[in-house]
Each structure stands twice: as C-alpha cells, then as structure tokens.
Amino acid sequence: MVYDTKRDVLYVADENLNRIWIHNGKTLDLFASLAAGQAPVHADISRDGDHLVVTNRLSSDLSIYNLERVSGNTGDALITTIHLGGIAGTPCHPYDVKFSAVPSLCCITDFNAGELLVTDIAGQHGTDRIGLGNKSFGLALDSTGERAYACNMGSGSVSVIRLDRKKKISEIYGLCTPCHCVIDERGGQLVVTDQGGAAGPGVHFIDLATERIVRTISDTMIRSPIGVTLGV
C-alpha cells in the first residue's frame, strides 16, 4: 500500500486478484482499480507524484502507471511493464520497491537472487544489480535517495548500499529474520522488524552512525512483526 499525497488516495496491491485498488484517502471508499501483473506485492510513487510503480513477484516484472490518467479511463494508466528477468536460470522475485532521488530510478529487492535491482523506468538505462544477502525483502531509502537499507531474511542481516556508487558498503548483523525497515532520520536510527527464531520476534533500533543495535523491543504480544512505519 502507498499513499498519494498529491491526490489524497491510497493504492493497495492485491496479490490474489492481481489488481491495484484505489481508495479515497479520507473516506477509504473504493472508486477505481488498475490491472497488475501476477501477484503484485509492493508499490511506490515517484517523488514528483506523476508515476506509480508496482512489483509483481510471480510474473517477475515492474508495472508502471501514469497517475494523471487514473482519474479518467484507468485502462489508459498503464504505461509499460519492465520484465526484470533473473540470473542463472533463476526467475526474479521482485519484492519491495522505492524510488530514488532521481525521478526515473527505482530500487527493487530481488528475494530469489538476494540482490538490489536499480531500474530506470524511463528506459534510458538498463537494470543494475547489486549483491546483498540471502532472501532480500524490505527496503528503505534515506531522504537524499543516495543510501539504501535492505533486510535479508535468509542471512539475518541488513545491507547498507550507496546508490551513487551502486555498491554495498557494509552489512549489519545480529538479527534473525529481518523483514521490513524504516529510517528515523531525526532520531538517527533504523527501525527493523524481525520475525525471530530461537530468540523470538522483536523490533530492533539500529544507530545509523555506528550501525549497531542499540535497543530491541520483544514482548509476548509481538508474534510475527512484518511491516513498519513512522508516525508524523
């Protein structure tokens, strides 16, 4: 799900019905939908508010929509679909997606390959692949769009990536099954949900300067945390 501040609407990915449902941001009433690929899972909106992108994990592609066309005939909203392929015969399993500071560049985690895909939706460049960990899942970008953090569920770590260098610069360990993360820039920390293992599930707070876990919330009420966001 992603919120469109420009139009005050919500776009919700439905991986069972292969649709993007569009809801009024105030009343939550459903008023339109968009066709997607197979099993759409995550969406993001470009920083200029003009485009919506959606990852489709089973068809291994990225759907790109022109949001100015949604208010009219939603069938005209789909601009194109970029097939993300795979490596060594393994199909791509695109999961989380975030726009970078460059309006046409999208960052996508590939669960199967354990990579970050940097894709130009304008078609001027191809897709760069940056190696991460195992089973890359959730993704967060800082406000500059230059540094990214990717949760690796299979290797119990968070990868730190410099997008301007197109390179992973460090790896944060000490987690079990990290799912999603969000950056608290004011507090100088990364908040990570962890489904846990022998140590149990929890929510970790990682200092951005030292890249160390400084606090963990673990409680019997926390069973299997996945998504995370910050309040205003």
Residues 6+ positions from 232 with CB-CB distance below 8 Å? none
Please state the rounded mean pLDDT for residues 39-51. Answer: 94
Residue-range definition of the domain harbouring residue 75 = 2-176
Query: Of 47-61, 64-78, 90-104, which gets the smallest average pLDDT?
Result: 64-78
Please state the rounded mean pLDDT for residues 26-50. Answer: 94
In a domain, 142, yes or no: yes
Q: Give me the number of domains the chain comprises.
A: 1
Confidence check: pLDDT of 72 > 60: no
Confidence check: pLDDT of 30 > 60: yes
CB atoms closer than 10 angstroms to residue 18: 16
Report the chain's mean pLDDT, rounded to a whole number: 91
In a domain, 20, yes or no: yes
Instruction: Report residue 102's pLDDT band, with 50, 70 and 90 as the boundaries.
Output: confident
In a domain, 213, yes or no: no
Comparing 227 with 27, the larger pLDDT belongs to 27
d(CA 204, CA 190): 8
pLDDT value of position 52:
95
Q: Is the pTM of this model over 0.85?
A: yes
Task: Residue 8: give its domain's CATH number.
Answer: 2.130.10.10
Angle, CA 19 vertex, CA 59 and CA 127 arms, to 5°: 40
Confidence check: pLDDT of 78 > 90: no
> Which tens digits make up the pLDDT trace of 181-206?
999 999 999 999 999 876 679 999 99
Angle, CA 149 vertex, CA 201 and CA 54 arms, to 5°: 95
In a domain, 21, yes or no: yes
> Which tens digits make up the pLDDT trace of 105-132?
999 999 999 999 999 998 767 789 999 9
In a domain, 187, yes or no: no
CB atoms closer than 10 angstroms to residue 1: 13
69 secondary structure, DSSP code: G
In a domain, 58, yes or no: yes
In a domain, 26, yes or no: yes
In a domain, 70, yes or no: yes
